[in-house]
Amino acid sequence: MKNLKASGKIVKTDTYLARSGIPWQQLLLSKSINLASKSALQKDKRSELFKYSSVVYREKATASLVNFTELLKSMSDLESFSGAAGHSGGILKAKNGNLLKIFDEENSNEPAFLSNLPCDDPLRPFTARFCGIREISSRKYLELENLTQDCIAPSVMDIKLGKKTFIPDPKNNAQREDLFLKMQKLDPASLTSEEHASKTVTKCRYLQFRDDLSTTSKFGFRIEGISFSKDVDSKCEKPEKIELQRMSKPEALKNFNNFVEANNLEKKQVVKQLEEFREAVTSSEYLNNHQLIGCSLLFIADSKILTLKLIDFAKSKKVEKNDEKDDSWKIGLNNLISDISYIPSSSF
């Protein structure tokens, strides 16, 4: 096996070590992995990544050898992408500007939801365009419109809607140490003595804890992430992910206010657009027949103009007439509009 020396590190070639279930693109683009420079890799065409250690994926330690040649051929068409919520792990940006989101069991509902949405439905203008399923190196991706593609200097805020953001799944009953550590960091007092003893929790337990800890369970909305443009970044302190996850409603509204103020948006216009959005989505015949769980309302501020989009339909599905339906996302939207409407104008 040939060795390639680059940036002072020895990188073995021919194959690379990838953990089961982790996309090659994510491993290659991750800043946390020590590997040779991209140019050096492209010269050799093959490489071996090793010692990939992450608490989140430690339990997926099954290693497999993967041919790297095909991925390198597509490298020039891909780059990593991070949205307001910081979900860069499974999202890539294609050369045409569209976003590529890993297609798997967890988001298998999204293509159907977007494909079947009628062009004349009131919801349509508030969603990203679905461009089909794209395969890269035997891995499938959803190709979606990049909602900030034509923006000059966008700031983005992701607000998760609904009193429950996940659907319990028996597959998520495995005991996980990484989620225990996350809970311990966020709120150690919430862990039971049994959980302290085993130092593990299930994914369902963690997701319910996250909803309860934030404003989700009580008010039906929470700020999932905020990303400021370079133009306003120096003026505003971006809250850390951990701060957002345990934020009270007054703190959430303060951060909402900061986003609006930093981007020179007018309170009346923000409220008006939210009310117009509510009118459109509540009159959608398509949404009357679908359940939305874990969807997000995306606020895109660019050059003093606000755009609203509804995203994340991975858990959305069609429901029959007599089926029980969770519409708590509407409660969250109503609460959000009501709360920001009563914030003193001087705060904006």
**The dihedral sign for the CA sequence 59, 65, 70, 73:** positive
CB 71 within 8 A of CB 136: yes
Hey, what's the torsion of the CAs at 227, 80, 87, 295, to 10 degrees? 90
Q: What is the pLDDT of residue 342?
A: 82
Please give the tally of structural domains in the chain.
Answer: 3
- For residues 287 and 162, the answer to whether their CB atoms sit within 8 Å is no
Tell whether 162 and 292 lie within a shared domain: yes
Residue 275, token pair as written in the block: 């009310």
Query: Does residue 52 belong to any structural domain of this protein?
Result: yes
pLDDT, position 193: 97
pLDDT at 42: 42
How many beta carbons lie within 10 A of that of residue 315, not counting itself? 22
Domain check: are 183 and 46 in the same one?
Answer: no
Is residue 138 situated within a structural domain? Answer: no
**Domain-embedded: residue 57:** yes
Contacts of 266 (CB under 8 A, 6+ apart): 348
Is 80 a domain residue?
Answer: no
At 32 the pLDDT is 41
Together in a domain, 292 and 162: yes
Asked if the structure places residue 147 within a domain, the reply is no
- Together in a domain, 161 and 297: yes
Each residue's pLDDT tens digit, 69-127: 344 344 456 555 556 554 445 688 888 899 999 888 776 899 999 999 999 999 999 99
Instruction: Assess contact for 49 and 33: CB atoms under 8 A.
Output: yes
163 and 49 both lie in a single domain: no
* CATH code, 234: 3.30.470.160
The residue among 55, 75, 95 that closes a domain is 75
The residue from 57, 75, 93 where one domain ends is 75
My answer on whether 192 and 286 are in the same domain is: no
Residues of the chain with pLDDT under 70: 1-90, 107, 233-235, 344-348
Residue 62 lies in a domain: yes
Say whether both 297 and 322 belong to one domain: yes
What is residue 84's predicted lDDT score, i.e. its pLDDT?
55
The per-residue pLDDT for 183 is 96
Per residue in 207-243, pLDDT (tens digit) is 999 999 999 999 999 999 999 998 886 667 788 888 9
Range of the domain at 304: 155-169+213-347
Q: Pick from 211, 209, 299, 221: which is nearest to 263 by CA?
A: 299
